[in-house]
Amino acid sequence: MFLGSTHVDQVPVLPIARPTGTFVKYSKHGHTRLKLIAQENGVTVPVYSTGESVEGTVELDAEKVEGVDRVEVKITGRLKLNEIAEGGTSSANLALDTKLLWAKSPSSQQCPQKLDFDLMLPTTFTYEGTTYPLPPTYSVKLKGLPGFTASIEYSVAALVNRPSTVPSMVPLVKSKTLGIHIGTTNEADTDARKDMWRIDSIGQGTFSHMANEKRVSVFSGELAISDAIQVGGFRAAGLFVKDCIVLSMSPMNPGKCPFMDFRLAVPIRLVSSPWAADGTGIGARDARRSQEEPGNLDVKSS
């Protein structure tokens, strides 16, 4: 699976500027804040790509730093597969990284009000001896007997500890996705005892007749993908999502037509930005706009 935009090697692509907004999550009583930078203005959850740096700040009100002896920030990712009828469940840890931002010591008795951090998301994870590319945030439910659900979730949290108290954790901030993919047909499959799958049509093609040869008819057209689709194909532990272009033909009069019903599925892998020889894809256009228009810092509370 390719996360984010991909391009052919040696093709010039303009650098994409990082967003300039800030996402903010408050603790229950609002005395602690987890700020994540390099986010789009107005997002409801932070967005990252695989291998990207998660940068931000943990801030405490001045009257609440007294008694703090430890501050940490933690990133977690988890894949969970569940058979509804039979009750079987399996899970895998996709990402787990904890960084100590400050700890009380003889040379540092009082916790700072502001602590910066920078954690790197992994590009792969290992499950039962096999290494997979880090998958995007995802969820699917397959109906039937036995039913099946799968979910992939990522979160980042700040933990502020005071002696003789339960650690104060800033509410988890869930990431929306790890890279955006556009697919045409998604098939969710599992490698469990019984394979279960679902096929969704997420786009349709239109085409027109171009030419006829002796034994060949030529058609040309394009596929329109639903705007709701943000995740494409990947394999992660027991979950497998595939993208395909499906060509099907059904004769209007089977008794007189020289061919029968026909269906061909071609596996593909699509990314969010179109390829262009001069590097002027969607991402490049957005990069130029960001360079021309200085971004405004938008602080959001959730």
pTM summary value: 0.71
Tell the burial category of 5 from Cβ atoms under 10 Å away from its Cβ (0-12, 13-18, 19+): buried
Residue 219 gets which letter from DSSP?
Answer: E
* Mean pLDDT within 25-31: 90
Phi, psi (5° rounding) for residue 283?
A: -60, -40
In a domain, 301, yes or no: no
d(CA 166, CA 172): 16
3 state SS of 296 = coil
In a domain, 79, yes or no: yes
Lowest mean pLDDT among 73-87, 99-113, 120-134, 162-176: 162-176
In a domain, 116, yes or no: yes
> Looking at the 3D structure of the chain, how many domains does it have?
1
Rg (the chain; Cα; Å): 24
Write the CATH number for 123.
Answer: 2.60.40.640
In a domain, 297, yes or no: no
* Torsion, Cα of 199, 200, 201, 203 (10° steps): -130
In a domain, 14, yes or no: no
Domain interval for residue 31 = 21-273+280-287
In a domain, 293, yes or no: no
* Better pLDDT: 18 or 99: 99
Residue 71 pLDDT level (bands cut at 50, 70, 90) = very high
* pLDDT at 201 > cutoff 70: yes
Q: Among 181, 223, 145, which Cα is nearest to 50's?
A: 181
